[in-house]
Amino acid sequence: MLELRDLSRSYGQTVALDGLSLQVPAGDVVGFVGPNGAGKTTAMRIALGVLEPDAGDVLYNGEPVTREQQRLFGYMPEERGLYPKMRVDRHLSYLAELHGREGADAADAAARWIERLGIAERAEQRIEELSLGNQQRVQLAAALVHDPPVLILDEPFSGLDPIGTDVMSAVLAERAADGAAVIFSSHQLELVERVCDRVAIVSRGRIVAAGRVDELRAERSKPRLRVEVQGAANGWTDGIAGVRVLASDDQGLLIELGEGADDQQVLDAARRAGRVHRFEPARPTLAELFREVVER
């Protein structure tokens, strides 16, 4: 397990982290989400030892992390961290050697990840000759080529097409299944919801919500209904105790049931208003939960 405990970090008068604490269990994929400037990249860089915190600790398997352990972590920065003039295969072999692999072993590791990430046809091309999406695949291979026990990725899905996204998602799941602790930041909340075992939402340098998405739903949202009534006039929910209309669109109304509200009363009112085409529970998305906790 990787654990960040009570991390604080300021840049002059700007507070980047304000007592941030986060756990990334081995075998889990954790989505690290928050607004721009919330502190995600700073926290990741502290976990890797690139930055030092003003206060707080980074723990690995319950003990203060060592520099030797941090060197084994895999890191994928948001900015390109590749040598543009190097060939893909030589670049990855070189990075594998930097992590302690030797000769044929380094070349084999590079070839394995080149094949797994679908860039075998690009192996002898220079990095600068690749599309942005294929550069992103090479960047992930660079983080994986030494089979790290911890994988820290900053916006790894940026620039990927749907096929690349599927490949990346599958690789992260495989690494977690093999026992790695995986954490990645992303602004693509639908993707985070689909890929991750757990989610941590950061705002103003602090974790404001963390857990499995279903747990966050149970903790933070009231029951909701999606109701579609053919020919219904506006305002058909008026007068139903505890009911609030959250949204109205082509799919009907999104209704929140407050304390004491009765879904059967809503159904009766919908039937009086017109022909009911849809009446079903609606789960809040991660994006909706995100807005709820961040905009407080």
Domain locations along the chain:
2-217, 221-294
Cα 247 from chain centroid (whole Å): 26
* Domain 2-217 homologous superfamily, CATH: P-loop containing nucleotide triphosphate hydrolases (3.40.50.300)
pLDDT in tens, the chain (296 residues): 999 999 999 999 999 999 999 999 999 999 999 999 899 999 999 999 999 999 999 999 999 999 999 999 999 988 878 899 999 999 999 999 988 888 899 999 999 999 999 999 999 999 999 998 899 999 999 999 999 999 999 999 988 889 989 999 999 999 999 999 999 999 999 999 999 999 999 999 999 999 988 888 877 678 889 999 988 888 899 989 899 888 888 778 988 888 888 999 999 999 999 999 999 988 888 888 888 788 76
Q: Report CA-CA distances (Å) from 184 to 134, 224, 232, 261, 266.
A: 19, 30, 45, 39, 41
Burial of 135 (C-beta count, 10 Å sphere; 0-12/13-18/19+): buried
| CA-based nearest residue to 135, from 171, 152, 160, 101 | 160
Contact, 213 vs 199, CB < 8 A? yes
The region that residue 264 occupies, defined by phi over 0 for left and psi between -120 and 50 for alpha, beta otherwise, is alpha
E strand spans, the chain:
2-11, 14-24, 29-33, 55-60, 63-64, 74-76, 150-154, 181-185, 198-203, 206-211, 224-230, 243-249, 252-257, 275-281
The DSSP call for residue 41 is H
